[in-house]
Structure 1
Amino acid sequence: GEDYNLAMGMRQRVFQRYTSWPFYIPGLPPQSFIMHHSMGLLYQFWIHTELVDGLGDFLNFFLNVPKHHQVHHGRNPYCIDKNYGACLIIWDRIFGTFADRDADTDYKGEKIAYGLIPPVNSFGYFTVQFHSLKKLFSRFFKTKGFFNKMKVLFYGPGWNSKDNIRLGDPAKLPKIKKGDENIFHDPYVSGFLNIRDDIIQ
């Protein structure tokens, strides 16, 4: 598990600035881009908290609020591939990727275990930044067939050629046991900002 707090809202992928800008190009004045980008980051910062649930039923229906975004960061089965919206959650409701933490389902009352599947188990800068790319390209080169290789790149991380389900088979997701939400990565931290952890891995 990992903490869900405001510090999480500050982390950004090193490649994000190089991959997001094409979405702002078509006819958008630079000043509009700067304002939109800045306000978006500011809004997303405050929703990384467990101290506040939301802004009331009406605004919660349209806006991304902490209780919605907690689901996005969870590794519980019902949290996977859900609640992508940055500021507006209405898009997830429209496109079927919305999950309500408090909905009356089999998972109601289950605490969210934050993190990835499988957990990264490292605070090393290079490991955290590049572990996903390492896994992606490892799968790419091991997978046979051109179209299957393309699916590795463009389908979900759970996809495999045997099941051939775009986002992977939900039944194969690891179940969260009681207490998993309290398991934290607690490594030895060297004097070199945990670079030792990167080298070992």
Structure 2
Amino acid sequence: MQVTLNLPGSGMYLLLLVSTVLLWENVASNPTGLVSIEDLYHRVVEQSHNTYIVAADIYREFDLNFAKRSWLRDRIPPMCHTSSIHTPEDRKQVHETTTVDLLKAILNVTYAWEEPVKHLLPAVTALPGVSENMMKRAIDVKGKIHILAEGIETILNRTETEPGFDGNDYPAWTGLEDLKSSDEDTRLFTIYNLCRCLRRDTHKVDSYLKVLRCRVVFKNECF
């Protein structure tokens, strides 16, 4: 089965993706523009929350329709490829992390997903009997991850006084061979882990960004 741009709403989605990316690029190149840092935070929080919702939907549908329960008994899921990225482990550590350091960690996690979600789409598309909704979600999450990365980088550029962020400082994903395996169980287990880790990381990013918005925009008076 092949995904084409003829899926309902895909043309409008692509236009939205392009216009949103251009918006971030314009804001980044023009820091004195009309978009305030407060508005930027509101936008990325909305984007991150929507990204998490889509990722959770993909995981839920895959688990319901394709996951074999024997996997959970016979195999131990590997660590997510983003596990080596240092991130706060609890609320106390989050609040003790500086805004710039937390933005860098969030951006590294987000960048680390741009490559895997490119390959998740064809893998999901090839699933036997996959629903149109799941294919749409796979397309959607790919674009949302990219837009979210653009937005977070824009905020970081507006926040950091001494730029020093290495945009390539994130772990590479090495699961492509298993994702293309001729063995069905290997392939499905790899998709399962991708969906599981994507849901985990998008939730983490969403939570961190909400803390930062509370800190920066509401001066910690939002709890």
Instruction: Please classify the TM superposition score into its range, dividing by the shorter chain length.
Output: under 0.3
Normalising by structure 1, we get a TM-score of 0.24
Higher RCO (Cα < 8 Å, 6 or more apart): 2
Between Structure 1 and Structure 2, which shows a larger proportion of helix residues? 2
Normalising by structure 2, we get a TM-score of 0.22
